[in-house]
Amino acid sequence: DAMVIQNPRYQVTQFGKPVTLSCSQTLNHNVMYWYQQKSSQAPKLLFHYYDKDFNNEADTPDNFQSRRPNTSFCFLDIRSPGLGDAAMYLCATSPTSGDTQYFGPGTRLTVL
C-alpha cells in the first residue's frame, strides 16, 4: 500500500545531542512537510519542500534543519535538542501545494 513512513517511531535523546528523524513516502507526492505537535496543540508547520524547493516557516528555530535528497525521503535534523523540543514530529505529503495532506504515524521525541 502507498504510504508515509516515519522512523523511528520513538526517539530518546539527551539534551544537546543531535538527532535525525526520517520520513519516506511511496505516494510519489511532490510536497513533503514537517510538523511539530505538542500536547493539546495544533500541528505547527516547521518546513515544507515543493520538490526540491525548500520553504522555511519564519518562526522555525535555527536549531531545526531539513534535507530532501530525493522525492521519496525527507529528514529533520535537530542540531542541539532542548527540553522544549520534546514533541511529536509529524511528516506529511501532498500531491501538490494547496492539496490534501497525508500524514505518517509520527515520531515521539523525548529529550532527557
Chain residues binding another protein by CB under 8 A are 33, 40-43, 45, 48, 88, 90, 97-98, 100-106, 108
Q: Smallest distance from the beta carbon of 59 to another protein, in angstroms? A: 14
Q: Smallest distance from the beta carbon of 88 to another protein, in angstroms? A: 8
Nearest to 78 by CA among 47, 52, 38: 47
The residues, any chain, with a CB within 8 Å of residue 41's CB and separated by 6 or more, are: none
Confirm if 49 and 25 have CB atoms less than 8 A apart.
no
Q: Which is nearer to another protein, 80 or 97 (CB)?
A: 97
C-alpha cell read off for 99: 492539496
Q: Which is nearer to another protein, 19 or 107 (CB)?
A: 107
Pairing of strands 31-37, 87-94: antiparallel
Q: Which is nearer to another protein, 33 or 64 (CB)?
A: 33
Q: Smallest distance from the beta carbon of 12 to another protein, in angstroms? A: 16
Q: Smallest distance from the beta carbon of 73 to another protein, in angstroms? A: 18
Cα-trace Rg, the chain: 13
